Structure 1
Amino acid sequence: MVVSPDLAVSDAAAPDLSRLRIALFSGNYNYVRDGANQALNRLAEYLLRHGAALRVYAPTTDTPAFEPTGDLVSVPGIPIPGRSEYQIPMGLSRANKRDLATFAPNIIHVSSPDPTGHSAVRWATEHDTPVLASVHTRFETYPRYYGLGFTEPLVEAICRRFYHRCDALVAPSQSMVDTLLEQEMHDDIAIWSRGVDRTVFDPSRRDLEWRRSLGIADDEVVIVFLGRLVMEKGLDTFAETIIQLRRDQVPHRVMVIGDGPARKWFEHALPGGVFVGFQTGADLGRALASGDVFFNPSITETFGNVTLEAMASGLPVVAAGATGASSLVEEWETGRLVESCGVSCFAEAIAPYCTNHDLRARHGKAGEIKSREFSWDAINRVVADTYLRLLETREAEREADRLADKAAAR
């Protein structure tokens, strides 16, 4: 088990979690690093630190991106066609089911509506075990980035059927909760937000010498992209917006932090852009704080960890006015939210930050102050409290049934 040192802090007000036995199911727990699996690993650390028993079921690889937190049990998985770095979990093997029965969880936590998630929900139904589902991404929006937008209603219907079989949901932002309610995914939804590691993300990490080593002058304004380089992150919108800024002769440079299968496409679409590759830890904090404006055009995220990290680093944010960012960015205070009105609107929102130092500094400072509200322990306690509530409700239902049977037998 790996416990992150920066998280090993006391939480005297935390509930006693020793009665919890949690089976957590994930499509990607540690074989590729992304915001969702990092949130799950932080949750696992919190639960274990406060006495819960935890077992994680997810596909594995011989070359994981990082060590898992907690006991990880490998489940069957196959590479996603065209995206082989990710796997589709293919249900539970007989060995998995034996392991699950031996562990005897009293809470099932599913984090993706994939075949293994469906298998876990079926197991929970058969064993009268409450299920919590966490929502980490807008799965129904993915098809539009691969020319399959017509399938979105079908994907949404599959997700709805899956979530209706769960006892409750947690989602990362109020905007995502509102979307889930509108889509009629469930009526019991709590907010499990995201935290930010202030030992990594802070304006003090800015490094002008490092910028200079990349050929960036001190007075140049750097627009930053951070994330996996995959089309569903809005790479096409980012590139088209930069092209528009160049047409408008708005002075700027571009820095791309991250890597992924669409890197070659992105490099071709952004000639002159500075690609620093995948960064982590202190190097990531330095790279992000060394930018000047953060641009996040993605509409697939339910929270936007990278948006919060940029705010903590002192950067004003221009983002799509979609779930996630709309619960973080305060219009004309910490940045700009752009609704679906095209590339020209994004360019118009970014341009003032490229030419107005005072505006950039003011909104960046306001975002950094707002980011201080996000404490990992307080955030993860929401999930722990939800586990306890579901368990107590199920135990009360069983007791009521027992008493009813006893009365009927008289």
Structure 2
Amino acid sequence: MTSKPCPAPLRVAVFSGNYNYVKDGANQALNRLVGRMLARGIEPRVYSAVVSKPAFPPTGTLVGVPSIPIPGRGEYRLALGLPPAQRRDLEAFQPDIVHLSAPDWLGHAAKRWAQASRVPVVASVHTRFETYFDYYGIGFIRRGVERLLKRFYADLAEIYAPSESMAAVLRDEGYSERIHIWSRGVDRHIFRPEARDMAWRDSLGIALGTPVIVFVGRLVLEKGLDIVSAVGEELRRRGVPHHMLVVGDGPARQWFEERMPGASFIGFQTGAALGRAYASSDMFLNPSITETFGNVTLEAMASAVPPVAARATGSSSLVADGISGRLVPPADIGAFADALEAYARDPALRAAHGAESLARAGAYDWDAINDSVLDRYFEILGHGAR
């Protein structure tokens, strides 16, 4: 798609909890959005916590904000609001609109500054933070956190949800009525069925003809690792032929490896290596209920690998149950095992659902998706979509 010109100067201040120091689906989407701003002649400036050795180079201009490690999750950092130096930088930049991507201290400080300065504020919702506490034994604070989140989002000009299912949750729970969809795209040069490599599978010691179930994601409890290990145990109990392939790394890796006998752990992968891992698998398992979109589910679909996912925000907007994959009740070990067993024992079924997944993934074009957000900026500022 050709770049869409911006007819008037527009400056956008973007505030992120993690722009590039740990790679994840949320900051990949945000970097792509900033890249699209640059392509359209919009001037972005990003404010985020930083580290000396980030996971990848930032797109656009990144202004570092002082931060501290999050207790118990030291790989992530918490920005300490908007200190004087960064405030002066923001004021000199004179943004026309402020885009928040996390309800953290930095996001709250930026919101206060923007509203005091009469600058419109929008926010994108990237994850279901309120669900995290259940995984760490402090679910009793969830209601209080939900109240704080509603106050954060309620008076913003607009909120951008990555899927219709997540937008419905935000409306139903009273976050806002001013919600638009900022979906996600997929790089079809990387995620494609042609990346399948049986010689690479052989190098992992996977027996010829054994169906491969792939899990891709950060190895943290909130990704549903307990469900994956329980499903693996149930499949072994049933005698279902399969091999588990785990792509990713994180603080729970040792815990996970101990519960996944015989699985291949290949660590964090990116680019062509990640595309090969997807395409060389036969089905994809995603039990997470914390996603608002599910980039990994879309990547599997673009690789013609049928997903078996929890019926939750994100996946329920991507997967057509029984047509392009399977949606099962969250945490239902038997239902996950049933769906995976059906694919393992019926190559024709998984091929048909994989082909349908591939066809459906074709609708997710990054430029068109990001243009929909940038056009909303102009609508908010009264210029109309450009």
TM bucket by the smaller chain? over 0.9
The yes-or-no answer on 1:182 pairing with 2:172 is yes
Segments of 4+ moved more than 4 angstroms = none
The yes-or-no answer on 1:202 pairing with 2:207 is no
In structure 2, C-alpha distance between the alignment counterparts of 1:273 and 1:166, rounded to whole Å: 46
Whether the 8 Å contact between 1:231 and 1:262 is mirrored in structure 2 is yes
Whether the 8 Å contact between 2:188 and 2:302 is mirrored in structure 1 is yes
How far has the Cα of 1:305 moved from its partner?
Answer: 0.1
In structure 1, C-alpha distance between the alignment counterparts of 2:359 and 2:151, rounded to whole Å: 40
The yes-or-no answer on 1:147 pairing with 2:137 is yes
- Superposition TM-score, scaled by structure 2 size: 0.98
In structure 2, C-alpha distance between the alignment counterparts of 1:232 and 1:384, rounded to whole Å: 31
In structure 2, C-alpha distance between the alignment counterparts of 1:275 and 1:18, rounded to whole Å: 50
How far has the Cα of 1:155 moved from its partner?
Answer: 1.1
Output aligned runs, 1:218-367, within 5 Å. Answer: 218-340=208-330, 342-367=332-357
SS in 2 for 1:364: helix
Whether the 8 Å contact between 1:17 and 1:52 is mirrored in structure 2 is no
How far has the Cα of 1:89 moved from its partner?
Answer: 1.5
Letter in 1 for 2:59: T
Residue matched to 2:154? 164
How far has the Cα of 1:385 moved from its partner?
Answer: 1.1
Residue matched to 1:398? none
In structure 1, C-alpha distance between the alignment counterparts of 2:356 and 2:37, rounded to whole Å: 32
Letter in 1 for 2:225: L
Residue in structure 2 matching 1:63, options 41, 53, 64: 53
Whether the 8 Å contact between 2:127 and 2:290 is mirrored in structure 1 is yes
Residue matched to 1:29? 19
In structure 1, C-alpha distance between the alignment counterparts of 2:67 and 2:314, rounded to whole Å: 29
Whether the 8 Å contact between 1:288 and 1:310 is mirrored in structure 2 is yes
In structure 1, C-alpha distance between the alignment counterparts of 2:283 and 2:75, rounded to whole Å: 30
SS in 2 for 1:153: helix
How far has the Cα of 1:353 moved from its partner?
Answer: 0.3
The yes-or-no answer on 1:10 pairing with 2:2 is yes
In structure 2, C-alpha distance between the alignment counterparts of 1:95 and 1:315, rounded to whole Å: 48
Letter in 1 for 2:367: D
Residue matched to 2:125? 135
- Change over 3 Å in CA distance of 1:17–1:124 after alignment to 2: farther
How far has the Cα of 1:17 moved from its partner?
Answer: 5.8
- Change over 3 Å in CA distance of 1:341–1:81 after alignment to 2: closer
How far has the Cα of 1:10 moved from its partner?
Answer: 1.4
Q: What is the number of equivalent residue pairs in this alignment?
A: 384
Give the aligned CA root-mean-square deviation in angstroms: 1.2
Whether the 8 Å contact between 1:318 and 1:338 is mirrored in structure 2 is yes
Whether the 8 Å contact between 2:162 and 2:314 is mirrored in structure 1 is yes
In structure 2, C-alpha distance between the alignment counterparts of 1:167 and 1:64, rounded to whole Å: 32
In structure 2, C-alpha distance between the alignment counterparts of 1:54 and 1:166, rounded to whole Å: 20
Structure 2: segments with no counterpart, 5+ residues: none
Structure 1: segments with no counterpart, 5+ residues: 1-8, 395-410
How far has the Cα of 1:218 moved from its partner?
Answer: 2.6
SS in 1 for 2:78: strand
Whether the 8 Å contact between 2:310 and 2:331 is mirrored in structure 1 is no
How far has the Cα of 1:285 moved from its partner?
Answer: 0.5
In structure 1, C-alpha distance between the alignment counterparts of 2:13 and 2:6, rounded to whole Å: 18
How far has the Cα of 1:91 moved from its partner?
Answer: 0.3
Letter in 2 for 1:236: D
In structure 2, C-alpha distance between the alignment counterparts of 1:256 and 1:114, rounded to whole Å: 31
Whether the 8 Å contact between 2:289 and 2:330 is mirrored in structure 1 is no
How far has the Cα of 1:93 moved from its partner?
Answer: 0.8
CA deviation profile, 1:188-223 (whole Å, cap 9, x unmatched): 100000000000000000000000000012301000
Whether the 8 Å contact between 1:17 and 1:384 is mirrored in structure 2 is no
SS in 2 for 1:392: coil
- Superposition TM-score, scaled by structure 1 size: 0.92
Whether the 8 Å contact between 1:27 and 1:59 is mirrored in structure 2 is yes
Residue matched to 2:362? 372
Whether the 8 Å contact between 2:5 and 2:41 is mirrored in structure 1 is no
**Structure with max Cα Rg:** 1
In structure 2, C-alpha distance between the alignment counterparts of 1:130 and 1:289, rounded to whole Å: 43
How far has the Cα of 1:15 moved from its partner?
Answer: 5.4
Whether the 8 Å contact between 2:304 and 2:355 is mirrored in structure 1 is yes
How far has the Cα of 1:150 moved from its partner?
Answer: 1.5
Whether the 8 Å contact between 1:140 and 1:155 is mirrored in structure 2 is yes
